[in-house]
Amino acid sequence: MTLTITSPQLGSDFSQDACRFLFDNLFDTANTVVASSEDPDFPVENVSDWLLTDFFAPAATGTYHITLTMPTTTNVDCMAFFRQDLHLNAGSIVLQYFDGAVWQDATSTILPADDKPQIFYFDTISASMWRFEIDSTVIASIGALFVGEHMALEVGVWGGFTPPIFARNNNMITSMSQSGQFIGRSIVSNAGSISLTAEFQTLGFMRSEWLPFIKHAELKPFFFTWNNDNFPLEDSFAWLDQTNTSASNQTFNRMSANIKMRVLTE
Amino acid sequence: MTFATLKDTLGREPITIVEMDLDFCQLTYSISPCTAAIGVTGSTKCYNTFQTCQDRENYDRGTKTYRFSTANANLPVGQNLFPCVTNVSHVPTKIDVNGLSVRATIKIDMIDFPHHDRGIDPYTDDRNFDPEFQGTFWGKFKARNPFVIDRTIRVKYGFIDPTGFDTTYSTDFEIREYVIEKIDGPDANGKVTITAKDILKLANNQKAKAPIQSLGVLSAGITNSATTIGLDTVAGYSSSGLIRIGDELITYTGISVLNLTGCVRGTNNTTAVTHDADDGAQLCLQYTATPVQEIIEDLLINFAAVPPAFIPITDWNDEDFLDPYDFTTIITTPTGVQDLLQELTQQSNSNLWWDDRDQEIKLKAIRIPLPNEVTEVVNMDNIIGKGIKVIERRDLRVSRVVIHYGVFDFTQDLMEFSNYRKHITDVDTDSESADEYGSIKEKEIFSRWIPSDAVARDLSTRIINRLKNTPKEITFTVDAKDSGIKTGDPIFVVTRQVQDELGVDKNTLYIVTEEKKLKEGSKSMYKATEFNTGVTGGTVGLIGPNSLLDFTLESDANKATFAFISNNSGLMSDGSPGYRIV
């Protein structure tokens, strides 16, 4: 008798493809990245260096483009951004691709309501030229921008996982008076801290998908959705918070790995 | 929202910004008037700093501001901030009861990090290396910017405004300005430390002397009666004045080519003697019946190079209690400005300190605050927890003052009793009696400045009135919302650590001598010294103008400023204590 165990019966609460990582940014492999308007103190390179302490900003208001020319036709199924102030003045952003004749929208026009990390998924599109069309009535800044394909765990997160929005890790400094009264409080915001276990992933997946992700994550941050099925808006900007990123074999010819991450959700 | 509003908010998010203004060339490499060219003046482009400049004749010094911040997950969008500040350690200005304050020092620790040079290097596209993978931010920064001494650094304490970040870095911030002393690091752990001091650092004895060392020497020997004196240079000599050669003071009335003319020999109780060629001729600094605040202003601006913008001379001139202190002296050798300021503040019963919040140098007479000047009351409702300490400052008590003044010969030892014509001794016999402290605590002053008996006695009276009783020193901590108190402010403190004879918490007047942020944006520590008025009971007030109404008809503001006549019981018609003339 053969016993076949498939997800979700393996123990994950959610389906395949629910837990997603965005790390392979087309900005890194493009032949050229050109902004149609650019403030020299805030160049376009700042938007793809995974740093949230520098920003891209145009030289003027209105509509402008960040255009990526790829060496070959490239598959894309998602885009993401974080730390922008487009939302302060009803600015908009849309991802487009060149179909050989005209520019087509890959996403609908997005009007960010805040500066939380946001990821937008769509059916895979293949093109060799991509661009972001951004419109703002004031000079707006963007910290991080991503376009590419996502990587999803074959088996999603397990029970006991802390969703990033609940991984609050702020320092509170409280003042109490001599008479025992609460008289003041300061907060220092910190990134949340979570632990994710990728259980029961196939041997092939770990080599073709997980290992490239880990090599990226050892150097740079990434975008992360923990459950796109049920909580598609709970996106995070994350980075590894450990030195040991090894994976190990399990039973049933599967592998598991545990990583600790710091996450920003707002 | 403003800083004042944000600090009162529960759940406020503190942030500290460090701004450095460093030199930066305003030209573009190889664009006229810059004549630098790759392959001609250098193999790579400069970094627009003097150290890396390849055309220094045309170097056009401007300023570039670099900003660093404490780490916070909520840093503002669109701002060029390096969140690498790990600690800000503040040794605050400390008002010394003897006059000149102790300098404020600030140490800012930062952590080094890899950096792509964008926003720092104007020519990143023209480099043949990837700066993100070569060197570190501070390693490269220090090599490009070695000239940082005495440049301006500002520490801005503030809060992240939930309604929108203050991109002017002013409204939502309490700003404190210093001058950079040094930048150490990065060390093996990547730690960098910036040390800076307040603007009065410029008056340090090593940096500033008055008068400035004169360059002239005698071009030939002179007799004891020569009235024309030849020098090898007259650069730096005023058109007329007083010089010192050896131990002789000589006035002159003019300069002709390289000669001082109209010389009067052996002035100011010195003896005319012969002098040899190459003997130095030091220009002296004289003040005659000059208000003390003007002397201090002159020393700071003209000898310590303190920018005049930091000296509120109008406020200084409004300090009525400095009026008695018009000083006269001759300074015959280059003397540290810090030492001179110490003498001046001590002998005018005043305090001089750098107010790093108002960003100006304060000069205030040490006097009893008027009731309307004491606005802060600190008590158990705003003192944090157990962070309060009260000690007796027995070292400050003074029961008698001895002042030597009227210098005989300004070229001789100014700490020598025999070099002074006049000596006064003022004694508080009550405090020295067996019924009180039973001991003598003497303060001796050798004054090159005090011109008369009246000034000397005014000084001694003020010192004794203030210090004949041992003052307390109190240290306490408050929340950020109560941190509006500044160094130099008079405050009332009510705490069970200080009680009256009935066991009631005593409302005691203090002067804040030190303020320090314990936790930026959250808690501040204060140290304050009790201010003894020298009298028992009563209320302080000024002699008022004729236009004042009767006490019952006057405004509360005027009642808190001017003195009114009390009844025979020493009380006012509303039952409050009567006024005392002190």
Tell me: pLDDT of B189 over 90: yes
Q: Give chain B's mean pLDDT.
A: 90
Give the gyration radius of chain A's Cα atoms.
Answer: 21
Tell me: pLDDT of A33 over 50: yes
The reply to whether residue B118 touches residue A85, judged by beta carbons under 8 angstroms, is no
Edge-to-edge strand ranges of the sheet holding B383-392: B376-378, B490-499, B505-519, B523-530, B472-479, B383-392
Host H or E run for residue A214: helix A211-217
Measured between beta carbons, the chain B residues lying within 8 angstroms of A189 are: 13, 72-74
Q: Does B288 touch chain A (CB under 8 A)?
A: no
Chain B closest CA to A176's CA: distance in Å? 5
What are A57's two structure tokens? 């900003």
- In chain B, which residue's Cα lies nearest the Cα of A58? B78
Question: Residue A150 has what pLDDT?
Answer: 95
- In chain B, which residue's Cα lies nearest the Cα of A139? B78
* Cα–Cα dist B254/B241, whole Å: 8
Question: Residue A159 has what pLDDT?
Answer: 77
Question: Residue B571 has what pLDDT?
Answer: 80
Question: Residue B118 has what pLDDT?
Answer: 93
DSSP A210: I
Residue B464: pLDDT band with limits 50, 70, 90: very high
Residue B401: pLDDT band with limits 50, 70, 90: very high
DSSP strand pairing (B14-25 vs A247-249): unpaired
The reply to whether residue A183 touches residue B11, judged by beta carbons under 8 angstroms, is no
CA nearest neighbour of A81 among A126, A132, A157: A132
Chain B closest CA to A69's CA: distance in Å? 19
Tell me: pLDDT of B42 over 80: yes
The reply to whether residue B13 touches residue A264, judged by beta carbons under 8 angstroms, is no
The reply to whether residue B73 touches residue A191, judged by beta carbons under 8 angstroms, is yes
What are A2's two structure tokens? 């053969």
The reply to whether residue A188 touches residue B14, judged by beta carbons under 8 angstroms, is yes
Q: Any bridge partners for residue A96, and if so which?
A: A105, A131
* Cα–Cα dist A208/A193, whole Å: 27
* Cα–Cα dist B332/B284, whole Å: 5
| CB atoms near residue B307 (< 10 Å) | 10
Measured between beta carbons, the chain A residues lying within 8 angstroms of B12 are: 185-187
Tell me: pLDDT of A10 over 50: no
Question: Residue A8 has what pLDDT?
Answer: 42
Residue B327: pLDDT band with limits 50, 70, 90: very high
Question: Residue B288 has what pLDDT?
Answer: 96
* Cα–Cα dist A13/A7, whole Å: 9
In a 13 Å sphere around the CA of B555, the CA atoms on its Cβ side amount to 6
Measured between beta carbons, the chain B residues lying within 8 angstroms of A190 are: 73
Measured between beta carbons, the chain B residues lying within 8 angstroms of A144 are: none
What are A179's two structure tokens? 């008479």
The residue behind tokens 């400052």 is: B393
- In chain A, which residue's Cα lies nearest the Cα of B68? A53
Chain B closest CA to A45's CA: distance in Å? 9
Question: Residue A217 has what pLDDT?
Answer: 94
Measured between beta carbons, the chain A residues lying within 8 angstroms of B64 are: none
Chain B closest CA to A193's CA: distance in Å? 13
Q: Does B289 touch chain A (CB under 8 A)?
A: no
Torsion angles phi and psi, residue A72, rounded to 5: -140, 175
Measured between beta carbons, the chain B residues lying within 8 angstroms of A188 are: 13-14, 72
Three-class HEC string of B247-302 = CEEEEECEEECCEEECCECCCCCCCCCCECCCCECEECEEEEEEEHHHHHHHHHHH
Rounded to 5, what percent of chain B is helix, strand, coil? 20, 35, 45
Question: Residue B540 has what pLDDT?
Answer: 66
What are A44's two structure tokens? 């376009």
Sequence-ordered list of residues with C-beta below 8 angstroms from that of A219, at least 6 positions apart, any chain = none
Q: Do A206 and A225 contact (CB within 8 A), yes or no?
A: no
Question: Residue B534 has what pLDDT?
Answer: 59
Torsion angles phi and psi, residue A230, rounded to 5: -105, -25
Q: Do B61 and B483 contact (CB within 8 A), yes or no?
A: no
Q: Do A165 and A116 contact (CB within 8 A), yes or no?
A: no
Measured between beta carbons, the chain B residues lying within 8 angstroms of A185 are: 10-12
Sequence-ordered list of residues with C-beta below 8 angstroms from that of B93, at least 6 positions apart, any chain = B101, B102, B103, B104, B198, B353, B354, B355, B356, B487, B514, B515
Tell me: pLDDT of A18 over 80: yes
The reply to whether residue A178 touches residue B519, judged by beta carbons under 8 angstroms, is no
Tell me: pLDDT of B83 over 50: yes
Instruction: Count Cβ neighbours within 10 Å for each residue of A194-221 and write b for 16 or more, e otherwise.
Output: bebebbbbbeebbeebbeebbebbeeeb
Residue B582: pLDDT band with limits 50, 70, 90: low
Q: Any bridge partners for residue A171, and if so which?
A: A188
CA nearest neighbour of B90 among B424, B580, B516: B516
Residue B536: pLDDT band with limits 50, 70, 90: low
Sequence-ordered list of residues with C-beta below 8 angstroms from that of A116, at least 6 positions apart, any chain = A82, A235, A265, A266
Note the Cα B563 to chain centre separation in Å: 33
Pick from A54, A179, A189: which is nearest to B381 by CB?
Answer: A179
* Cα–Cα dist B202/B239, whole Å: 28
Average pLDDT over residues A86-106: 95
Q: pLDDT of B254-309, one tens digit each?
A: 999 999 999 999 999 999 999 999 999 999 999 999 999 999 999 999 999 999 99
Sign of CA dihedral B460, B465, B467, B470: positive
Q: Which residues of A touch B (CB under 8 A)?
A: 41-43, 45-46, 49, 52-55, 57, 83-85, 88, 115, 140-141, 143, 173, 175-179, 181, 183-191, 264
Measured between beta carbons, the chain B residues lying within 8 angstroms of A186 are: 11-14, 480, 519, 521-522
Interface test with B, best of A53, A134, A264 (most B CBs within 10 A): A53
Residue B338: pLDDT band with limits 50, 70, 90: very high
Average pLDDT over residues B142-157: 94
Sign of CA dihedral B197, B202, B206, B207: positive
Chain A closest CA to B497's CA: distance in Å? 12
* Cα–Cα dist A220/A27, whole Å: 14
Q: Look up the pTM and report it.
A: 0.80
User: What DSSP string describes A48-74?
Assistant: GSS-SSS-B--SSSEEEEEEEEEEEEE
Question: Residue B560 has what pLDDT?
Answer: 67
